[in-house]
């Protein structure tokens, strides 16, 4: 096991809260689950090559990583002010015009994971909550990135958002997993989701993250609408953007449990629905498919990669391996 898991697990002790049941006070990830994800991440890191981000030519500034860079990219005409140490003398002699060599600069890969812990994500009917699945995916991707010696940071969208500064390798992975695994009890007074709030969140990512960052958004994207497309498109243009959409089986197909009371976790509204009626279950499934198509369309127009992940899925590795294939 390449990661000393005791370091992160020791930080996941829960402070007592008499008003909450034990399950709500427990971390989202158990010790054995984190250990299994660390093993799976080794396999993911082996098949997922380390990314090289070449967003600037060497010579634009002095690189703190690799100086002039390692890979020759092209020759281009000399412009007054260019460093003559990069002159391409062979091309200059052949063409009779001054040419300069330019290089692609290797930069340390950077991964930024955004974990949505909003009210709607604190829901689950099979195996685990949607937010727990998001935490599992966060751990898997963070461990895999640490295997490539990447810089790892993250953002938790919560009642009070939390920004985790990028840290190198193992330190960044452990800090992010610690935060992602913290208890996530139901929000007592869940207010309506404000689309403007998510616009502010996306704008903050655009302002705070460097070009070339690998950005992963883990959410159910219940908040996503056309007004978010421009900001997502800007993120996708500047970064490698992956949207991991997490949903629950009961959202895909309403179970037949007779007359049942439903609580809207984002708006606080309550409804009584007769799930025994086939027509109601069919309408529910049709509404889910329509919403799913809308989310996929918004993300496609923005240029984001899109991965759908069920909250009940135990084996994450095959899902991410298939996506990278």
3-state class (DSSP) for residue 128: strand
pLDDT category of residue 46 using cuts at 50, 70 and 90: confident
CB 112 within 8 A of CB 151: no
In angstroms, rounded to a whole number, what is the distance separating the alpha carbons of residues 323 and 325?
6
Q: Is pLDDT of 96 > 90?
A: no
Q: pLDDT by residue (tens digit) across 269-293?
A: 787 888 888 998 899 899 999 999 9
**pLDDT score of 183 more than 70:** yes
* Residue percentage of the chain with pLDDT more than 90: 47
The confidence band for 23, taking pLDDT boundaries of 50, 70 and 90, is: low
Would the pTM count as exceeding 0.95? no
Burial 19-36 (b: 16+ CB within 10 A, else e): eeeeeeebbbbeeebbeb
pLDDT of 3 > 50? The answer is no
Position 195 scores a pLDDT of 58
Q: How far apart are CA 110 and CA 152, in angstroms?
A: 6
90 burial class (0-12, 13-18, 19+ CB within 10 angstroms)? exposed
Alpha helices in 60-191 (DSSP H): 89-95, 130-147, 169-180
Q: Tell the burial category of 128 from Cβ atoms under 10 Å away from its Cβ (0-12, 13-18, 19+).
A: buried
pLDDT score of 247: 95
Is the predicted pLDDT of residue 234 greater than 80, yes or no?
yes
To which CATH superfamily is domain 5-51+109-324 assigned? Answer: von Willebrand factor, type A domain (3.40.50.410)
Domain boundaries, the chain: 5-51+109-324, 54-106
Q: How confident is the model at residue 19 (pLDDT cuts 50, 70, 90)?
A: low
Alpha carbon distances (Å) from 292 to 43, 89, 157, 173: 31, 57, 22, 31
């Amino acid at each position: 096991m390449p990661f000393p898991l005791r370091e992160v697990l020791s930080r996941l002790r829960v402070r007592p809260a008499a008003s909450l049941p034990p399950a709500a006070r427990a971390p989202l990830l158990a010790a054995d689950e984190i250990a299994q994800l660390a093993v799976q991440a080794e396999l993911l890191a082996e098949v997922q090559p380390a990314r090289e981000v070449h967003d600037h030519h060497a010579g634009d500034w002095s690189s703190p990583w690799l100086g002039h860079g390692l890979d020759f990219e092209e020759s281009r005409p000399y412009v007054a002010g260019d460093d003559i140490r990069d002159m391409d003398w062979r091309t200059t002699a052949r063409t009779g015009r001054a040419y300069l060599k330019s290089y692609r600069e290797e930069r340390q890969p950077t991964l930024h994971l955004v974990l949505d812990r909003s009210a709607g994500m604190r829901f689950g009917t099979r195996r685990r909550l949607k937010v727990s699945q998001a935490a599992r995916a966060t751990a898997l991707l963070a461990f895999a990135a640490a295997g490539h010696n990447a810089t790892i940071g993250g953002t938790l969208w919560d009642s009070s958002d939390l920004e985790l500064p990028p840290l190198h390798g193992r330190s960044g992975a452990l800090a992010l997993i610690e935060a992602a695994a913290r208890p996530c009890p139901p929000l007592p007074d869940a207010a309506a989701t404000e689309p403007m709030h998510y616009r502010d969140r996306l704008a903050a990512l655009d302002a705070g993250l460097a070009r070339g960052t690998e950005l992963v958004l883990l959410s159910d994207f219940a908040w996503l609408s056309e007004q978010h497309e421009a900001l997502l498109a800007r993120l996708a243009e500047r970064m490698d953007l992956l949207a991991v959409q997490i949903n629950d089986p009961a959202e895909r197909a309403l179970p037949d449990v007779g007359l049942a009371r439903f609580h809207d976790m984002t708006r606080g509204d309550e409804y009584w629905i007769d799930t025994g009626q086939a027509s109601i279950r069919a309408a529910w499934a049709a509404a889910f498919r329509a919403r799913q198509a809308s989310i996929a369309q918004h993300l496609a127009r923005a240029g984001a990669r899109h991965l759908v992940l069920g909250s009940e899925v135990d084996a994450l590795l095959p899902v991410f391996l298939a996506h990278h294939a």
